[in-house]
Copies of this chain bind each other. A is one copy, B any other.
């Protein structure tokens, strides 16, 4: 039985301020989830995530399934215990990574057959199996397996793919209910100290987190009528939350904003809305303005490792020679460890010298910038000043590069 619960605390236009409860704590929304693909956010220790203000992180099912394996993680007590992160975790279904494997995967109605990028071994991921793996990982929020469309796609391709995703969503929900029922029955037997030999469907899956929630995913490409059809089909199944998938895949940003806003409007008010894989800081602000509650993106961490830094005054490419003798912090408005202790000149030196501490310090800063932006967004909605905040944010240099 999922213990997941979302509360809408208030709105300001279409922007929503809320919170959701999970077995590992509460998350304030709108929320940004740092991406911890392989059980760690790259270059960031857990304490750094806490310091930066992260309340929830994301894990990638595809990577964890291949290495170290979902069964090993279940034997460790689940992903939280394995990685020692005791806050909420969301796992994706593995679909997006598998669809990115191009020639190394075949999609059929049953599921996706793919070859590991690590050793070429062959695996089959069905909707049921995606649920089982995430049950073993024990994330607080699991995602249904969906078919991820490439961009551009014709309307017919998008329709067929969206309909398959809807069928898979139903299969995921059914399997999820089986596992929940089995876990509940096990808990009841355990509570009544009865040792029965009765083992039903789901008995082969070790459920690491009985309070897990399952989110559905709306597909349909850039075709709004397909998005609407997908939303209707997915909400008819019923999930603890709804994600918008298949955006930020190459379409123009206005199209992304448009589809996001239209689709969000059609989703239940009392469930969180998660825009998968977005985006830039401006994307976060713009999509909150269109009713989105949750985001994840590798941009702050990946860009950090490449020396691309976000500041309140604009973006910085720390490799640039103009920073060689710049004694100022990356961002005078930032209170992170990096900005409190180190200069641009030093960070440039570490980057050019190839030091791992460059990645660590830059990651700390970029995550802080993202998470601090979310905090400011939440405050602005609470004070009903979100539109002023939004205009100021977009007017500021934050979306411009200081180095172009």
Contact = CB atoms under 8 A, between A and B. Distances in A.
Interface of A: 38-47, 63, 67-68, 72, 75-76, 82-84, 324-325, 327, 337, 341-343, 345-346, 349-350, 352-353, 355-357, 359-361
Contacts of A72: 324-325, 345
A360 B45 contact: yes
B40 A350 contact: yes
A46 B327 CA distance: 18
Nearest to A341: B84
Contacts of A343: 76, 82, 84
27 contacts: A38-B349, A39-B346, A39-B349, A40-B355, A40-B357, A41-B357, A42-B355, A44-B357, A45-B337, A45-B361, A47-B337, A63-B353, A67-B352, A68-B345, A68-B349, A68-B352, A72-B325, A72-B345, A75-B325, A76-B343, A82-B345, A82-B346, A82-B349, A83-B342, A84-B342, A356-B360, A360-B360
Contacts of A76: 325, 327, 343, 345
A325 B41 CA distance: 21
Given A39-B349, A76-B345, A349-B67, A359 B356 contact: yes
B84 A357 contact: no
**Number of chain copies forming the complex:** 2
Contact of A350 (B39, B44, B47): B39
A104 B273 CA distance: 62
Nearest to A41: B357
A343 to B, nearest CB: 7
A126 B83 CA distance: 52
Contacts of A352: 67-68
A68 B324 contact: yes
Nearest to A47: B337
A385 to B, nearest CB: 36
Q: Which 3 A-B pairs have the closest CB atoms?
A: A38-B353, A40-B357, A43-B356
Contacts of A353: 38-39, 63, 67
Contacts of A46: 341
Contacts of A41: 357
A84 B45 contact: no
A304 to B, nearest CB: 11
A238 to B, nearest CB: 35
A67 B345 CA distance: 12
Nearest to A40: B357
Contacts of A45: 337, 357, 360-361
A327 B342 CA distance: 36
Given A38-B353, A39-B346, 7 more contacts: A38-B349, A43-B356, A43-B360, A44-B357, A67-B353, A68-B352, A72-B345
A66 to B, nearest CB: 10
Nearest to A75: B325
Contacts of A325: 72, 75-76
B356 A42 contact: yes
Contacts of A327: 76
A355 B252 CA distance: 33
Contacts of A355: 38, 40, 42
A350 B75 CA distance: 17
A350 to B, nearest CB: 6
